[in-house]
Amino acid sequence: MNIQAGIIGVTGYAGSELLRILLRHEGISVRYLGSRRLLSPKPLGELLPSFRGTSALVVRPFRLKEALEACDVLFLALPHGTAMKLVPQIFRKKSIKVVDFSGDFRLASKASFRKAYHLGHCASALLKEAVYGLPEWNREAIRSARLVANPGCYPTAALLALAPLAVAGLLASEGLVVDAKSGLTGAGRSLREDLLFSEVNEDVRAYRVNQHQHMPEMEQELRRMNGRKVQLTFVPHLVPLDRGLYATVYAPLTKALTEKGLRSLYRRAYEKEPFIQLLPEEAWPQAKSVAGSNRCEIGLRLAPGGKRVILLSAIDNLGKGAAGQAVQNMNLLFDLEETQGLLP
């Protein structure tokens, strides 16, 4: 029998991409679509033109009771600060699985959360329980979780690139640089003048230079993997495309590697991973080649001397960077085939 799923926040870019995937997923029935912006129920196709004629679903003004009745799993595709209010209510009423897209449950401590989001945490008791949903490096914990914190798009791309080095304890504690380029759906469907077409088109710009809220998330996970603190410099940029997140990572090592040793490290880490594509020498990731998929492409080059690695990592920010990864997590939560419903 199919799993019953609900989405809260379906009108955002991540929420609607999630719905697109779930509608193709044969193990899932979408039973509830909620939006906090609605005052009365509306046909999906009226809110999101790309669903016109493909689905008779209706989006409802969000009410928790309705959502809980219908579903085995709830996806929360809401701005940060919202899920932390909602999840305790959910668990009080029903024991279901929750996959949260926001940053609310990704950081292990109240203090880090406050520092990253400039906001107190109102459900800090759940921070310990929440499981960081990066399946390639946290698969077993996810399987038995109740609350999965779906990783941020920047951390997903950067961590998939860095994890094999970190887990081997090879990351030097200083000098790590992550330079990331994101398409505009990554900025969300927010009504901001600087996101109008004529402001963004034909532009490249950095923002929140070395102060983005995803930095503590990356540092936390790197520390967990590497066994000790890694200091990070991080600059995100907006580039004029819809989908795509490209992370270029400059990683100083604790000891020199050979190109062969480096490749073999990555091959061992990823050769069985269905969604990680390690590219051969002289081939480099392209945002376009992963668009619409749940894949991550990774390219590597050792700098002369062998003590620095350049890592390139491309994902679809709405795919592996949000909705695709959420479905991968859900597949694990319900013991389904991990790749089900996802484009490789």
Q: Which residues bind a copy of itself (CB under 8 A)?
A: 13, 24, 49-50, 52-54, 175, 177, 179, 181, 183-185, 189, 191-193, 195-207, 209-210, 233, 235, 237, 239-244, 246, 248, 250, 252, 277, 279, 283-293, 295, 297, 299, 301, 303, 308, 310, 312, 314, 343-344
Q: How many CB atoms lie within 10 A of CB 315?
A: 32
Minimal distance in Å, beta carbon 321 to a copy of itself? 13
d(CA 183, CA 235): 14
Minimal distance in Å, beta carbon 98 to a copy of itself? 27
Block residue for tokens 């509830």: 32
Minimal distance in Å, beta carbon 308 to a copy of itself? 6
150: tokens are: 């779906």
- With respect to a copy of itself, which residue has the nearer C-beta, 24 or 85? 24
- With respect to a copy of itself, which residue has the nearer C-beta, 250 or 334? 250
Taking CB atoms within 8 Å and a gap of at least 24, the contacts of 270-277 are 270/136, 270/164, 270/298, 273/136, 274/338, 274/339, 274/344, 275/136, 275/320, 275/328, 275/339, 275/342, 275/344, 276/136, 276/160
Could you give the dihedral angle defined by the CA atoms of residues 128, 130, 136 and 137, in that order, rounded to the nearest 10 degrees? 0
- With respect to a copy of itself, which residue has the nearer C-beta, 96 or 177? 177
Minimal distance in Å, beta carbon 45 to a copy of itself? 9
**DSSP alpha helix (H) spans, 201-256:** 215-226
Minimal distance in Å, beta carbon 287 to a copy of itself? 4
- With respect to a copy of itself, which residue has the nearer C-beta, 65 or 272? 272
- With respect to a copy of itself, which residue has the nearer C-beta, 106 or 295? 295
Q: In the chain, how long is the greatest CA-to-CA distance?
A: 63
Q: Are 263 and 288 in contact (CB under 8 A)?
A: no
d(CA 141, CA 153): 20
Query: Which residues participate in catalysis according to the annotation?
Result: 153
Q: Are 314 and 286 in contact (CB under 8 A)?
A: yes
Block residue for tokens 């390219």: 299
- With respect to a copy of itself, which residue has the nearer C-beta, 143 or 307? 307
Task: Please enumerate in sequence order all residues whose Cβ is within 8 A of that of 298, keeping only pairs 6 or more positions apart, or say none.
Answer: 160, 161, 266, 270, 276, 277, 278, 279, 285, 311, 312, 313
Block residue for tokens 């406050």: 114
Minimal distance in Å, beta carbon 41 to a copy of itself? 17
